[in-house]
Structure 1
Amino acid sequence: MDFRYLGNSGLKISEVTYGNWLTHGSQIENEQATACVRASLDAGISTFDTADVYANTKAETVLGEALKGERRESLEIFTKVFGPIGPKGHNDLGLSRKHIREAIDGSLRRLQTDYVDLYQAHRYDYETPLEETMQAFADIVRAGKVLYVGVSEWTADQLREGHRLATELGFQLISNQPQYSMLWRVIEGEVVPTSKELGIGQVVWSPIAQGVLTGKYVPGQELPAGSRATDDKGGANMIKRFMNDDVLGRVQQLKPIASDLNLSMAQLAVAWTLQNDNVATAIIGASRPEQVHDNAAAAGVTIPADAMARIDEVLGDVVESDPARTLDSSPKTREA
């Protein structure tokens, strides 16, 4: 496993992060989830990403149990705050001072740790003053509950203002967690250049486009049983934007490129995101240990320039690159 610094900080994290969105506490049994975490550790992954909203806090609990007994100093544990949790009351969501202070304590209990290495604003909260949010983050950093602060799916302008306030308050905003893959490149136009300027690194999610870039979905064929596209708990809804014959057909054309590089399709997809020097780590998810080992092997891979050009040529206009799509990620109102 190779490691990179996260943003302009001294924190090193593994190039591949294990994340448990849509799996732990919902799609797979706890025993299988633990097996995936053990496989991650065996593969050299030291960084683990979760969120309190995943499976309404259950995912954090499962991860905490799976990591019990590991040397805490050898791990980087990330979680997030924003989405509705618990009974989903009127203050059980968002980035208010009240919710942040209560949410971090709940996350620490579930993760069975005294601190998290990175605490992330899961989305931008349009209904809470940003000054209030950043002051709350500053307070929990000073309390020792959080070492570093990051965000997820913020626009370039939001990153700039958040970074300014963090600097004034005496702590670092070091990361952003956006969706990023060969098919979804909306951060490249504005978010990445701004992040480079500010010293913010990307912790990217869905580098395999929810499984589409593995090539397992073939135009005109039935969906594989048990796949993300058949999951009625949220997975199918997330993946539907890519489930058309044009996209799926072009993905099939990536197979010779992967083969020429002696990579699986998943490895090619993960490695592609890591060619961006503003990307610190790519988050992988898995329902089986063998998937973890396959994806983790993308760390340290260099894709030659000619292969990168061939990928662009194959995918052509099915790639989504509009920077404005980041605005769609954060809800404009907090709804309980």
Structure 2
Amino acid sequence: MKYAQLGRTGVFVSRVCLGAMTFGGADNVAGNAIGRLSQPETDAIVGAALDAGVNFIDTADVYGLGGSETLLGNSLKGRRDQVVLATKLHARVGPGANQAGQSRLHLIDALEGSLKRLQTDHIDLYQLHSFDPLTPLDEVLRALDDVVRQGKVRYIGCSNFAAWHLAKALGISDRDRLSRFVSVQAYYSLAGRDIEHELIPAATDGNIGLLCWSPLAGGLLSGKFHRDGVADKTSRRALIDFPPVDVPKVFDIVDVLKAIAGRHGVSPAQVALAWLLARPAVTSVIVGIKRPEQLTDNLMALDLSLRAEDLAELDEVSRQPPMYPGWMFTYNAKSRLPLGYPSNGPEWKLGERPV
């Protein structure tokens, strides 16, 4: 197993994080597609992950409406000290008017519920599952700081934030001397590189760990899907069209993944994960598992070193066009230097420094 420092903390987490969304769940289309795994199935996956050196597990109170946390708590009995345990709050977990969001009222209730279901006295990484436009960030961050000071939470993070959300939150925390986000969890894959425009620069500037969810774009990058359909009609992506992608472009990416996988004698999924793990900003990649053999396949990506030409091919087929104001930064970058000053040439871009 390989590990990386989580943001600017002294904590090290496995570069592959076990996502627990597949544990538990309702008996409906969404639940069946995502997982709805039983306790024995959960025990087998968690045990295999821990035995392989995975020390980072991520869940949320909304997964299975608490079912994921309950099953995970049972699986971690006797091994809780081996895990950096992360969970999230924000999504609606009941019909009540205040059973959603990030008000102090709901945040504290949600935390107490997660602690009970996970059978632990503290959460190692407590994350906001999304941005709450109704609750002032000052209130949210103060409440999070309180639960950190109480010892119920070790570190705090966010998920699905825009770059300005993250920057504003860090500013408030620094101004008011409150606990600071140490990580941001975001969708990032070869099929979705949107966060490279704004969020990754913001996270890098703030020394914030980046945790990537849906690294295979809901399974599309596994190589099991084809332009004319999918063989397994019960697969997650066949039932839930999420996350949204440019489908024709994705299959162009899959063609390149398969070619590179063939050269290395590995699976397309391993290549997709290896590409993500090679990105400088990425701390850990969150993988959702339905069967232990999927975990074994995913973990093999840690030992896959893609060649420069492999990375260049993948970058070319998946690259997104620059967005304003990013393209303007690049356009004007060279003019920032005095005449005669050596630079990296016409390809010098924002964020790079002249030699």
How far the C-alpha of 1:250 sits from its partner, in A, is 3.8
Q: Is the 8 A contact 1:186 1:323 kept in 2?
A: no
- Identical-residue share of aligned pairs (%): 37
TM-score (norm 1): 0.88
TM-score (norm 2): 0.84
Counterparts of 1:103-122 in structure 2 under 5 Å?
103-122=110-129
2:190/2:253 contact within 8 Å kept: no
List aligned pairs for 1:162-241, cutoff 5 A: 162-167=169-174, 168-231=176-239, 236-239=240-243, 241=244
Q: Secondary structure at the match of 1:95?
A: coil
Is residue 5–residue 280 contact of structure 1 (8 Å, CA) maintained in 2?
yes
Give the AA of the match of 1:260: R
CA contact (8 A) 1:141 1:148 kept: yes
Q: Structure 2: which amino acid aligns with 1:292? A: L
Return closer, same or farther for 1:286/1:243 CA change in 2, 3 Å cut-off.
farther
Alignment check: 8 A CA contact 2:85 2:124 kept: yes
**Corresponding residue for residue 304 of structure 1:** 307
Distance in 2, Cα, partners of 1:42 & 1:226: 29
Q: Partner residue of 2:49?
A: 40
- Aligned pairs for 1:144-155 (under 5 A) are 144-155=151-162
Name 2:333's counterpart in structure 1: none
Aligned-partner residue type, residue 75 of structure 1: V
Check conservation: 1:122, 1:152, Cα contact below 8 A. Answer: yes
Deviation by residue 1:291-322 (Cα, 9 ceiling, x = unmatched): 01110122254322221111123345xx5876
Q: Find the aligned partners of 2:104 and 2:304 in 1 and give their Cα distance.
A: 42
Alpha carbons of structure 1 residues 225 and 323: separation in structure 2 relative to 1, 3 Å: farther
In the alignment, structure 1 residue 90 sits paired with structure 2 residue 90: no
Contact map agreement 2:141 2:173 (CA 8 A) in 1: yes
Q: Which amino acid aligns with 1:274?
A: L
How many pairs does the alignment contain?
315
In structure 1, stretches of 5+ residues that fail to align are 325-336
1:14 and 2:14 matched: yes
In structure 2, C-alpha distance between the alignment counterparts of 1:45 and 1:3, rounded to whole Å: 9
Cross-structure match for 1:333: none
Distance 1:68 1:159 in 2: 35
* Equivalent-residue separation in structure 1 for 2:87 and 2:323 (angstroms): 28
Which residue identity lines up with residue 50 of structure 1 in the other structure? T
TM-fit CA distance, 1:202: 0.5
275-284 or 132-141, larger mean C-alpha shift: 275-284
Establish whether residue 161 from structure 1 lines up as the match of residue 161 from structure 2.
no
After TM superposition, the runs of 4+ consecutive aligned structure 1 residues lying more than 4 A away are 319-324
The partner residue of 2:130 within 123, 126, 151 is 123
Deviation at 1:35, TM superposition (A): 1.4
Q: Which residue of 1 aligns with 2:291?
A: 288
Moved more, 98-107 or 256-265: 256-265
Match of 1:100, SS state, is: helix
Match of 2:107 among 96, 100, 103: 100
Cα 1:42/1:322, change in 2 over 3 Å: farther
* Distance in 2 between residues matched to 1:321 and 1:97, nearest whole Å: 39
1:51 aligns with 60
Change (3 A) 1:208 1:321: farther
CA contact (8 A) 1:24 1:62 kept: yes
Q: How many angstroms apart in 2 are the aligned matches of 1:103 and 1:222? A: 38
Shift of 1:258: 1.8
Greater alpha carbon shift after TM alignment, 220-229 vs 94-103: 220-229
Q: Displacement of 1:245 after TM fit?
A: 4.6
Report the residue type matching 1:24 in the other structure.
G
Do the aligned partners of residues 174 and 246 (structure 1) sit closer, same or farther apart at CA in structure 2, a change above 3 Å counting? Answer: closer
